[in-house]
Structure 1
């Protein structure tokens, strides 16, 4: 196998440096660039000979899925691998739809990440066995169900899930609108849709649900 040139995209410099040191110990992998946001990442993909972009979903005020979509559209030869703390059961399929070739949770061992890098470089899909089984099964609703509720979050769109998480982190409607470059009216409309889809009766119920969801990700 030829050397795999990797771009690391994560908004935490300590994580990037530690990950770069780890990956560079593998003789088949070279970290040739690092970025902390979408703009820097797209610049690096244009300037450096990148084979695999390892992308975190949370990039400060930005969403890693937007970067995956841009790389896939503009630089189709670059393979994207999502590396995130968010639950694979909720975000892996969304990442694949955005154009990623694989999904690895940050709780996995380094060997799992290295194996995934090699798989996506070879144009293979890199997911856990459980996630692979879920995707090929026609009876996967129980696998996708979150531990915090009996309602499935799989019915939510990417933007709806993003806003739900921001609500759970304590952001007000105006703050969410500014962060996502949306109108307050649009965010309010999404919050109403969330209540309907999740079977919640009031705004306070939505906030409680969102906090529980956000805490389940951060634990």
Structure 2
């Protein structure tokens, strides 16, 4: 039996995936999480073989969660699922320790096959996406800059961001300024848009 955890902040997507996978012989969904920061705590109660992680989640994204699992639970195979097929995401997924990468509009049979393949130790790598990722710019942002720019992209003011990440407002402004410079943009809104287009946040 392949025990699967699903992390996706969209309840309907999460429930639909769970229902689909539970119909498949030899696969059982044992845990569902609405955010990346729920994944590691969930593993204390449910042994998991494969974790399906959405990239964009509100508090902790799938890429950070994949990196966390690589350190804390290396036995868990990670399959990244995303709506956004961006070369930067593909590159970051494997740099974070993922074993596979699929877009959400993939046929159900492809998802099921991917779960079985990563469980058996294979990598699920689409050759065309791999080639696009080779030509993509590497992410110039630090993890902290990614975090702060992601919060800024959601419209949070500097004071709120500072409180949320436990930094001073001045330090947050410095990180935003660095991100604006690295993305060659004029302000944080443009920086966030550019970073999202490239799959950097």
Q: TM-score, normalised by structure 1?
A: 0.76
CA distance 1:211–1:99, change in 2 (3 Å): closer
Deviation of residue 41 (structure 1)? 2.1
What is the SS of the residue equivalent to 1:80?
strand
Q: Name which of 140, 164, 170 aligns with 1:155.
A: 140
**1:99 matched residue in structure 2:** 97
What is the Cα deviation at residue 23 of structure 1?
1.2
Q: Deviations over 1:178-213 (max 9, x none)?
A: 34444323321222112222223x33xx42353466
Partner SS, residue 171 of structure 1: coil
2:41 matched to 1:59? Answer: no
* Counterpart among 152, 156, 164 of residue 167 in structure 1: 152
Is residue 197 of structure 1 aligned with residue 182 of structure 2? Answer: yes
Distance 1:43 1:185 in 2: 33
- Contact 1:55/1:80, CA 8 A, preserved across alignment: yes
Q: CA deviation at 1:59?
A: 2.9
Q: Counterparts in 2 of 1:80-99, with a 5 A limit?
A: 80-99=78-97
TM-score by length of 2: 0.82
CA distance in 2, matches of 1:162, 1:128: 28
Q: Which runs of 5+ in 2 are unaligned?
A: none
Q: How many pairs were matched up?
A: 199
